[in-house]
Amino acid sequence: MDFVHPVQAVIPGAQGRVLAVLAETSAELNLRTIARLAGVSVAQASRVLPLLVELGLVERREVPPSSLFRLERTNVAARAVIDLARSRDTVLDAIGDAAKLMPVVPASIIVFGSFARGEAGAQSDIDAVVVRPDDASDDDDDAWATSLEDWRRKVRTITGNSVEVLEISRVEAGSRLASKSRLWRDIVRDGVAVHGLSPAELSESVDA
């Protein structure tokens, strides 16, 4: 899934570009503004918008000499577009919910990299630090390994993107988070804890 341009990925062409612009604001916009923000020509926008008005996704208000347009947010199809535009946040919640259902629940899952920064395209991986629980002694623990692989498959299904896991113990996580390596500095700066302990809490739990 392209999480940078999720609406356009599912609804290609000028229609998807226009809907993506309207999904990002509740303000009324005129035709030329919509065309400029969507990166389409005024002629393309003028063909697309009447169709969206006819479908009920977009509301049109005449303010001579202009027409103003906004997404009709109570329309069921428009709500689907808004959900699509917000799919990154929805995915973060879903990843965390999947972790809660793992037979062996991790101490923490921190998503980092392009997805955490809001830059993940269709070919981007979902990068995650997964911190083993204290009762899973190492990555050779069969129950833990099975639980983690099931979670990885679920996330792959949820997102459509490959999932890269950096698996680590709580003690290792605390020491590496305190390190000066670029990777771990990036995780501290950009990482999103979708389940369990945050980077700061992992560091504190080791220091305590």
CATH number of 87-207: 3.30.460.10
Quote the pLDDT of residue 134. Answer: 82
Beta strands in the chain (DSSP E): 29-30, 58-63, 66-71, 108-112, 126-131, 163-168, 192-196
Close Cβ partners of 26 (under 8 Å, ≥ 6 residues apart): 70, 71, 73
- Report, as ranges of residue numbers, the positions in the chain whose pLDDT lies below 50: 208
Cite the residue boundaries of each domain of the chain with CATH code 3.30.460.10: 87-207
Strand, helix or coil for residue 105: coil
Q: How far apart are CA 198 and CA 60, in angstroms?
A: 45
Q: What is the DSSP letter of 135?
A: T
CATH number of 6-84: 1.10.10.10
Place of tokens 């479908």: 55
* Torsion of the alpha carbons at 67, 70, 76 and 82, rounded to the nearest 10: 150
Cβ-contact 22, 34 below 8 angstroms: yes
**99, 196 contact by CB (below 8 A):** yes
User: CB-based burial of residue 165 (10 Å sphere; 0-12 exposed, 13-18 middle, 19+ buried)?
Assistant: middle
Residue 177, pLDDT score: 86
- The distance of Cα 29 from the centroid of its chain, to the nearest Å, equals 26
pLDDT value of position 206: 53
One-letter amino acid identity for 50?
A: P
Looking at residue 135, its pLDDT comes to: 78
Handedness of CA 182, 96, 167, 136 (dihedral sign): positive
Tell me: the pLDDT tens digits for 72-128?
999 999 999 999 999 999 999 999 999 999 999 999 999 999 999 988 888 889 999
Residue 200: the pLDDT is 84
pTM for this predicted structure: 0.79
SS3 161: coil
Q: Report the share of the chain in percent with pLDDT over 90.
A: 71
> How many angstroms separate the CA atoms of 190 and 173, rounded?
16
Query: CATH 1.10.10.10 occupies which residues in the chain?
Result: 6-84
